[in-house]
Structure 1
Amino acid sequence: MTAVQLPDLPRGRLPRRVPVRQVLCLVPLLLVAVAAVRHRSLLAEGFGQLRTASWPWLLAAAAATCLTWVAAAFTRQGAVMEPLPRRRLLATQFAAGAANHLLPTGLGASAVNLRFMTVCGVPLARSSAALALYLLAECVGRLTLLAALLAAFPGALRPGALLPQGVPAPLLLGAGGLLLVAGTVLVSVRRLRTTVSSFLRTALGEARSVHTRPARALALWGGSLAFPALQAAGLAAVGQALALPVPPTHMALAYLAATVAVALVPTPGGIGSVEAALVVTLVAAGGPAAVATAVVLAYRIITVWVPLVPGALTLGALVRMKVI
């Protein structure tokens, strides 16, 4: 009897390719669902506050929120020499906002923008330098506005309002100790010191190059000032919508003080810590606790929760299109 010879099957081949990008597209939506379930009571109360608010002021707050993505796009472009595609850059800032609220503060947006710049052809070392320059400019812009408002309205906040609620002094001392240990390690380890020195040289070179172009420098520093100013304006508009008896400039000062202080608490998007710090600073500015809480909940609904689902969808679409 003649043996039947079966065809050889290819070795080392999976029966079907795993759709990695399709799976990654669903991850942001899954994280949104988890965050919404965890904060469902906050969402319900926040949407309840919006029903009693003045809608023209709420629309002004929404417009200010939309303009923050434009300001972020200007700052990102100002931090890098290469021209970035404008529409994709703006879409990336919208998506980065969603990523920033789903991951520890600053990490999500930084990862999205770093990937976007590398896909656009900017080398990784210079993309990292541009990211560091953006973070520095954003920090300087926020602190500059805070210092200017404190100088203009020195009695607007009661002493102690610059520390977020729930952050004891031992935690601050511990954070200072960690920074000291990190500095000691950096000085001691030669290889790490060499890597950091190389990065700093790249970053300084990128900063010098950007500031030789007036348009880039204007976009960088103008956007870094406009971004926190628009955020503060959004809170002031919500305060007006809910008749918070605090002057708008004092509300802006309270917002800047709270966000500077809450940077010490690395929660996802500042969820939880931002609300507590904002309520503390608004009360310190003279607002009743109940109304201040309502303003903060409504503001966070407009700036965080409403854009979160479309932002997550945009993030998934950008991943699928290989923009990031």
Structure 2
Amino acid sequence: MTSPSPDPEDLLEIADLAPSAATAVGEISGRWRVATWLRHATTIVALGVVVTVLLLNAKRSESALTTIAHARPAWIVAVAGVAAVTYAMAAACTIGSTTVRLARGRTVVMQVASSFVNRFVPGGVGGAVLNVRYLERAGARRSEAVTANALNNVAGLAVHLALFLGLLPFFGGLQRDVDPPDDAGAYVAILVGLVVVGAAVWIRWIPQHWKGHLRVMQLAASDVLRDPRRLTLLLLGSAGVTLAHGAGLWCALRSVDAHVTPTDVMVVYLVAAAAASISPTPGGLGAIEVALVTGLTRTGTPTTAAAAAVVIYRLVTYWLPVLPGLVAFRRLRRIGAI
């Protein structure tokens, strides 16, 4: 969960694609070929190596690698701890997005498994399909499972936007160019206006077949939205995922003795995550690293420290969960939960 949601068009099309999606997950579950897995894994790892090498380019590779080698272990452990929190928060989102009773521990394991699946499919689509499958196996109807997934993603988008608009006026990189007391309110007002106008245009011109899906989702979502406990889980879980990722990046910066305010780190993460959400690579690989380093240098962080911190952050939050995710995926498959 990481981070902004898959494109709304993808979410709405899940309803039409549900049978084939379920079949796809079934094929992953029942006929996972070692050769195919190795081919995909090799491709992703190779891309990751290329991205890391580009981050630690020739001009600063020696100093950046030295910085990583001398990073404070306690802060790296903190990055891992905060990363673990994201799975618990994502599980809270899933539990809050449906009226079906879900086992908390198993739902956390499912989120870990999603991190593995999402390494091979861009835009979080693999995790979305796995989530639909998991909810169906837990007793939800397909329409309920699709709606729960949509609610989860809409909540994530709303929280992401709210945090960005709320923190932007306090972003240090912005303060270097404009006077916040005079201009920050105007910037926020313009952003809100653009969002409102864009939403109005989108709703006005939305294709007819989308409207039918939205009506079904609206009816299925009403039970969840009328339940204060589930709505609270949904929103707080979404906020927790985003804030935990920002905290993980901040801990990575502290591990290399880079001092950036939590507010600045959070804004940089929000922007980078938005950029990663439209990247054609799994998990925004490549796009998010570049966006994070660029944003951190905008706050005054030395480029070497920014690159080192981003490498540490991504190694711990993106690459480290792959093996546990595979174990979780196989366990859920073995017990028939997916």
Give the TM-score of the pair, scaled to structure 2: 0.75
Q: Check the 8 A contact 1:28/1:315 in 2, yes or no.
A: no
Q: Equivalents in 1 of 2:33, 2:332: separation in Å? A: 9
Q: CA deviation at 1:22?
A: 5.1
Q: Equivalents in 1 of 2:77, 2:157: separation in Å? A: 28
Write out aligned runs for 1:175-324 (5 A).
Answer: 187=207, 193=208, 195-324=209-338
Partner of 1:11 in structure 2?
A: none
Q: Larger Cα Rg: Structure 1 or Structure 2?
A: 1
Work out which of the residue numbers 113, 123, 128 in structure 2 matches 1:95: 113
Deviation sequence 1:186-237 (CA, Å, 0-9, x none): 64xxxxx2x4333212211233211221110110011011110000000000
Partner of 2:137 in structure 1?
A: 119
Partner of 1:144 in structure 2?
A: 162
Q: Equivalents in 1 of 2:140, 2:260: separation in Å? A: 46
Q: Check the 8 A contact 2:82/2:247 in 1, yes or no.
A: yes
Partner of 1:39 in structure 2?
A: 48
Partner of 1:5 in structure 2?
A: none
Q: Check the 8 A contact 2:297/2:306 in 1, yes or no.
A: yes
1:282 partner letter: L
Q: Equivalents in 1 of 2:302, 2:69: separation in Å? A: 20
Partner of 2:16 in structure 1?
A: none
**Aligned with 2:45: secondary structure?**
helix
Q: Check the 8 A contact 1:29/1:312 in 2, yes or no.
A: no
Work out which of the residue numbers 23, 31, 39 in structure 2 matches 1:23: 31
Q: Equivalents in 1 of 2:249, 2:174: separation in Å? A: 16
Q: Which moved more, 1:123-132 or 1:48-57?
A: 48-57
**Aligned with 1:24: secondary structure?**
coil
In 2 relative to 1, CA 157–251 (structure 1 residues): closer, same or farther, beyond 3 Å?
Answer: farther
1:105 partner letter: G
Q: Which moved more, 1:56-65 or 1:253-262?
A: 253-262
Q: Check the 8 A contact 2:173/2:298 in 1, yes or no.
A: no
Q: Equivalents in 2 of 1:140, 1:238: separation in Å? A: 26
Partner of 2:21 in structure 1?
A: none
Q: Equivalents in 1 of 2:81, 2:124: separation in Å? A: 23
Q: Which moved more, 1:254-263 or 1:107-116?
A: 254-263
Give the TM-score of the pair, scaled to structure 1: 0.78
In 2 relative to 1, CA 121–97 (structure 1 residues): closer, same or farther, beyond 3 Å?
Answer: same
Q: Equivalents in 1 of 2:98, 2:285: separation in Å? A: 30
In 2 relative to 1, CA 158–120 (structure 1 residues): closer, same or farther, beyond 3 Å?
Answer: farther
Q: CA deviation at 1:154?
A: 6.2
Q: Equivalents in 2 of 1:47, 1:22: separation in Å? A: 42
| More helix per residue | 2
RMSD of aligned C-alpha atoms? Answer: 2.7
1:223 partner letter: G
Partner of 1:59 in structure 2?
A: 77
Q: Equivalents in 1 of 2:47, 2:243: separation in Å? A: 30
Q: CA deviation at 1:142?
A: 1.2
Q: Alignment identity in percent?
A: 28
Q: Check the 8 A contact 2:250/2:260 in 1, yes or no.
A: no
2:116 partner letter: A
In 2 relative to 1, CA 47–288 (structure 1 residues): closer, same or farther, beyond 3 Å?
Answer: closer
Q: Equivalents in 2 of 1:268, 1:64: separation in Å? A: 21
